[in-house]
Amino acid sequence: MKILVTNRKARRDYTILDTVETGIVLKGAEVKSLRAGGGSLAGSYAAVQGDEVWLHGLNINPYDPGSPYSPDPRRTRKLLLHRREIKRLTSAVAVKGQTLVPLRVYLKGGLVKVELGTGKGKKTYDKRQTIRKRETERDLARVRRERGRR
């Protein structure tokens, strides 16, 4: 599994409750562009519209050696899910304060997949608490390392 694009701010801004792997519909040389590192998940989100799930805001830069008629880099893209998974995501998003957040785009067996998470937005004090916890864990690991050297 090769990770092509990650959403770094997703786990900082949201508490991820559940994740699901989805396929994505791409056109033309978008896969080649993603393999070359031409993608960004910054500001992207997923939305359930009817019986389909769409990914908004995924930026895939046009592939330079490709055709001059490449699709719009920020167009909405359809996510491929089973009907029961779409129903489960619809009920999860129906809860107030929850949203669908794309976490990463990766290759799995030659196919491009999107890891989609249902997340609840963190408050400012939650973010500070997460940072504080990470720093204390880092300090403890540093002390353990120094103790082991003696």
Go through the domains of the chain in sequence order and give each one's CATH number. Answer: 2-121 (2.40.280.10)
CA angle 86, 89, 92 (to 5 degrees): 155
Q: Which of 26, 28, 84 is nearest to 55 (CA)?
A: 26
Confidence category of residue 150, pLDDT binned at 50, 70, 90: low
pLDDT at 6 over 90: yes
d(CA 118, CA 123): 16
* pLDDT value for 59: 93
Mean pLDDT of the chain: 90
**Tens of pLDDT along 43-71?**
899 999 989 999 999 999 888 887 777 78
